[in-house]
Structure 1
Amino acid sequence: MAAVVAGLGLAALSDLFSVVAGIRLRNLAQKGSGFFWTDQQKLEDAAELYEKAGMFQGTAYLACAVVFLCWFFRMRRTTGLMAPDQFRRGPGWAVGTWFIPLANLWMPYRIAMEMWMAATFLPHDGGQRQARTWPVNTWWALFVLGTLLNRYAGTSYKNAATLQEVESAVGWYLVADITSIAAAAAAVHFAVRLTALQRRKAVEGPYGLGATDAASAGRIPA
């Protein structure tokens, strides 16, 4: 768990570095596209720093992805033992779905939701599982939004031919980076909560400690 938090923290730190470098480059690009031409050397240095920030992001994201996927797979295997009926696919899909184009914007979310429900206590009255799923939904919404914004910004930055276009592309990158920072924070919350749910259910059983009271009241078998 600590490795996952550290990996997500490193990714968020790389995004923050990119935000700082992006603001500097965007400000210089704004000056250069106005009435006063900015110093060319400063603009080149800012662009070089921004490229380095991007390389740092790539390295941080790769390290974070490896750690997160290992945790995601282990959690799928563990929660699968608790409630195998909650899952449509085998544990290997917890890793494989991330590498399927387009499907990786939806299928990992479904697996995450299945794990969340599998780690949730069964209701004492034998009804359907009811759980607050906003940690899963918030994380995934921010993750997908950040991914799409980053792709759009990357295409815009690559095709930029003027300072105005560079400024616009960097602006989109800033929005994408800030969204990714929020997504990393949401991912930490999701991972910590899911791990806590899984461990608690492993210790207390499928109904939780309240199952004893419910059994004595005749609502579930003792």
Structure 2
Amino acid sequence: MLCTTCRTRPVAVAGGRCTTCAALRPSPRDGLMTATPAPTQEGLHLLRSPEGLAKAVVALLVAVIVADVSAVAAGLNTRGVFADIAGGDLEAFGLTTRADLLNQRAYSLQLLTLLPAAVVFILWFRRVRLNAEVFDASQQTMKPGWAVGGWFVPVGNFWLPRRVAGGIWTASAQTNTDGSWRTVSHAPLNLWWAAWVLDLLFGRYASRKYERAELPQEVVDAAGLVVASDVLDIVAAVLAILFVRRLTAMQGERATLGAYPLSTRPAGPGGHHR
């Protein structure tokens, strides 16, 4: 029978573990996942399960999607009202107050859901980054603090979090049971990041067009852009859910395999092993 931690050496002690794993990887305390802690300049990092935070992130992102759907409905209503006005229906002017009220309520709901979702997402992102330090610190090109700070750097937040996420993804990729490296597609990470950046840029553009619209037809065109940005926000939220769930699952799988064999780490740029 093989060790339940490394799956390569025979069981030698109670708990189904070999002598090496029993010495190097003591039994985890509550909330910790099994792995060898990695000493760093910031102290000793221990694996902590991101599962609870991941569930919270997913729930909050679902709330964001619901808020975005309400915003799409409000935007389509506004577009319809001003399309009637642009077509010469003067009675439609009486509907503009209600349309504005629906937009304000939808916007408030978006803020109420987006802010907590962003906070919990960053907490989850920091957790998986610290875990990645344990899995393979050599794959991390930026210090753990950037998992939080990178989101607040003007302009830099368009690529710094993606750089951090790339290191996390690579370090969290599950190895095979014999210790050899298994390639994991970066598609969930790349699709989420591309959608998030596009949503951020297009959303700002649509908001500015709507704020500057004065004539009825200009409002119709701008409202259409805002609706499109809300739809894109829904797509980005769905891709974020897939990314969070996949990376969380990867870290759970990776934690069961113990430390990486140095000889089987993936080759870095130029074909050299790190």
**TM bracket (short chain):** 0.7 to 0.9
Aligned residue type for 1:67: V
Closer, same or farther: CA 99–38 of 1 in aligned 2, 3 Å = farther
Q: CA deviation at 1:11?
A: 1.1
Corresponding residue of 2:35: none
Aligned residue type for 2:230: D
* TM-score scaled by length of structure 2: 0.72
**Cα deviation 1:155-187 (Å, max 9, x = unaligned):** 111111111121111111111111110111111
Q: Work out whether 1:130 is the aligned partner of 2:183.
A: yes
CA contact (8 A) 1:142 1:182 kept: yes
1:192 to 245, 251, 257: 245
Q: SS in structure 2 opposite 1:39?
A: helix
Q: SS in structure 2 opposite 1:26?
A: helix
* 37-46 vs 56-65, which moves further: 37-46
Alpha-carbon distance between aligned partners in 1 of 2:180 and 2:125, rounded to the nearest angstrom: 29
Closer, same or farther: CA 125–71 of 1 in aligned 2, 3 Å = closer
Alpha-carbon distance between aligned partners in 2 of 1:197 and 1:38, rounded to the nearest angstrom: 58
Corresponding residue of 1:7: 60
CA contact (8 A) 1:97 1:104 kept: yes
**Cα deviation 1:82-112 (Å, max 9, x = unaligned):** 1101111111100101111111111111111
1:166 to 179, 204, 219: 219
Corresponding residue of 2:159: 106
Q: Which has the larger Rg? A: 2
Identity of aligned residues (%): 36
2:231 to 156, 178, 181: 178
How many residues of Structure 1 are paired with residues of Structure 2 in the alignment? Answer: 208
Alpha-carbon distance between aligned partners in 2 of 1:87 and 1:191, rounded to the nearest angstrom: 19
Q: Work out whether 1:204 is the aligned partner of 2:243.
A: no
Alpha-carbon distance between aligned partners in 1 of 2:260 and 2:239, rounded to the nearest angstrom: 27
Q: CA deviation at 1:126?
A: 5.9
Alpha-carbon distance between aligned partners in 2 of 1:51 and 1:165, rounded to the nearest angstrom: 19
Q: CA deviation at 1:122?
A: 4.2
1:22 to 75, 78, 83: 75
In structure 2, list runs of 5 or more residues that go unmatched: 1-53, 265-274
Aligned residue type for 1:189: L
* TM-score scaled by length of structure 1: 0.88
Corresponding residue of 1:52: 105
In structure 1, list runs of 5 or more residues that go unmatched: 212-222
1:78 to 125, 131, 134: 131
